[in-house]
Amino acid sequence: MSNITYIALVRDHSGSMRGLEKAALNDYNLTADGIRQSVQEENQKAYISVVECGVGHTATSRLVNVNVPIENLPVQKEYIANGAATPLWDSVGMAIEAIENNPNKDDLSTAFLVMIITDGQENASKKWSSASISAKIKELQATDRWTFAFRVPRGSKTVLTRLGIPEGNIMEWEQNEKSLNEAAVVQSSSVGTYFSARTRGVTSVNTFYADPGNISIAKIDNTLDELTNKVQRKVVSPHQDGIMIKDFCIEKFGKYAIGSAYYQLTKTEKVQPSKDLIILDRNTNKVYGGPSARSLLGLPLSGEIRLAPGNFGQYEVYVKSTSINRKLYDGNAVIYKN
């Protein structure tokens, strides 16, 4: 067994989360499932600790799980949001303390991941101040073994970057159920990509989250090659359901060469380093490609990654096909480079 990771999850249980309990419960269980699946697929080991932030009328931080093997972490059955305030820094400090000292702490291949979800900002900590938690976070990040990933209300990013959190490790969300459900999907995908990186020996990341919804057209034009006039796009019809990609391309484009066809990402999957990406902007119908596609989407520049559809805002992602027998299904799209 290689690559041990100690994980701490900080959940916001303050009263401002009232009305979001169902989505928050789903978010937590989806994150846990993503970790469980990832470590199993990547043959890794993970221990998880859970901190509840802002519990009850005293708004305390409560440690409810300590370094539990991920396979033994129970499914959460309920989520109660009744706290009087948000002791965010105390909760983050408690998470750090829970996983910092362990039997594998001196093994340089051991990594630490702290994930925080909150719909509010710090307003009740007693043990940790913004200055002390910032110093601690910077100290740990300097070891290149710690990753801190925050999901916070829109407008909170500046506070966290001042603490030393990389922008790529911060995701802002609107304080409503729809936004939290969307953020949960991104979180699950990001966890998968993180553990794929762990397989390659990576012990910390500064692009845990991708936020392609904020990518500007100008940035795309300056970063990627526009391929709009150099490609064709066709969609699989109902009668072609289950067709092989080679047969589909010959039928629709009149030819097939390995590496020229890109299939639409329609389910979560691993993407090998050799597979380039193409991006379709649904708003403009422009198509872009080039070696910077991964960077633009906030993904690791090298190595195997895990991608999930629905994480990329207005952009559809297409993956280079390196086979002749990939099956395509009704509604799937293919882009072919001429």
The more confident residue out of 207 and 94 is 94
Superfamily of chain region 4-199: von Willebrand factor, type A domain (3.40.50.410)
Closest to 133 (Cα-Cα) out of 89, 88, 167, 86: 89
pLDDT band at 301 (very low <50, low <70, confident <90, very high): low
Dist. CA 20–CA 338, nearest whole Å: 49
Q: What is the pTM of this model?
A: 0.69
Predicted local confidence at residue 1, as pLDDT: 43
245 Rama sector, left if φ>0, alpha if ψ -120 to 50, beta otherwise: alpha
Top pLDDT among 63 and 315 is at 63
Q: How far is CA 27 from the centre of its chain?
A: 12
Q: What is the mean pLDDT of the chain?
A: 89
Q: Where are the domains of the chain?
A: 4-199, 213-337
> In the 8-state DSSP scheme, what is residue 163?
H
pLDDT at 328 over 70: yes
pLDDT one-digit tens code per residue, 154-193: 999 999 999 999 988 999 999 999 889 888 878 887 888 8
What pLDDT was estimated at residue 302? Answer: 60
Q: What mean pLDDT is predicted for residues 92-110?
A: 95
